[in-house]
Structure 1
């Protein structure tokens, strides 16, 4: 079905793997288009409750964009390319189903930006993160200047983006860029372990958590008002009734997403 990515559905988790190991899984226009289609699957397929984005091979999650595509672009074309990237990564960020980045090697440039668009990140011990665009006379263009600043703070983000330095998985963990660091062979198992725990919760409540957390960082939205509205909306769901009944009856709830 896809040329540059692979998808596998297991335990209601869609594993999306960028599959260009000979190119260190670099993002080109085909990858971006196919990634967008895979994210559509996450949104639209009922059998998919969550997703993991990772890379194929031993070395890279995504080691950046395909620089060969940049050489002949005009300023207008560059802005158009960035807008397309923003649209796809924002769709990942705003997905009502959880999407985890399982970073299995280099996550540089557009690869770091892809990982940051996910709801959170798990890294293997050999993972490396960075925004080295200044080495090419560029800046991050797929949301990296914004998400990195949100995740690690302005001072650290500016240093990383101005120096182009790479950081290790433990350093990324210390900065709050990643949630967990595990051995490479345990990476997908750790992601699945977390997602299976999430699957046991009320899916409408999970979607509302995602929405409210994003509202906290949106200058055009009153996050507190969003929380009030979404909290109230929970009371119109069958899942809340089931959750309350299960709590009172001292049993495990059976949520249906209604």
Structure 2
């Protein structure tokens, strides 16, 4: 690790961290260059422990000691900047002290990720990074063995997703589905049954389904606006709904994922 003082926001060595506002990156599914941003010492620590490789770090001086303890054995430049430089570069107040530019690990195949899994969460078409992060946190905390995300899902490694997940995107094995039919074939080959969470007249209630849950099951969750696609619903072995009261027909997708995962726990 090499500590380097940087006093100008225009310094090109800080380009990895430049203009990271949600507006600038929200529409980007996979940031260019195969990188993602880990924000805060805790998230950086979890990423490094998961085997992810840092490319560079920008840190405010008062947070240097914490970063030194995390990255002392890594060959990585650590740019030490004043608070005003950090804010000018990123476009927001960096309250957590440190940002790391991390190399993205290669994604594994669906078959590899679900091998041996008994409980899988599938997220389809969910564009909100906060919901993605919250769903990953639920998956980690409630015992999901793997998460699959569709091509139109927001990026689990986007900095807001990572932050909301509290770094659990580094704990739960996951990958991105590239072809739905191929993914379903891989799930079938692993003897995983598909349960679609949806509002339909023929849906079985979650508690009833959980009482006789398959030994291996994947819970499919769609976006709050459109719900699951026709292809996802057609591939389901069961349509499941969470019984609601108070005139409310559904929960936020991350909350629904948490409820469904909890119900599926052995």
Is the pair's TM-score, using the shorter chain for normalization, greater than 0.5? Answer: no
Structure with higher helix content: 1
User: Greater Rg, structure 1 or structure 2?
Assistant: 2
Larger relative contact order, structure 1 or 2 (CA cutoff 8 Å, min sep 6):
2
Structure with higher strand content: 2
Q: TM-score under structure 2 normalisation? A: 0.25
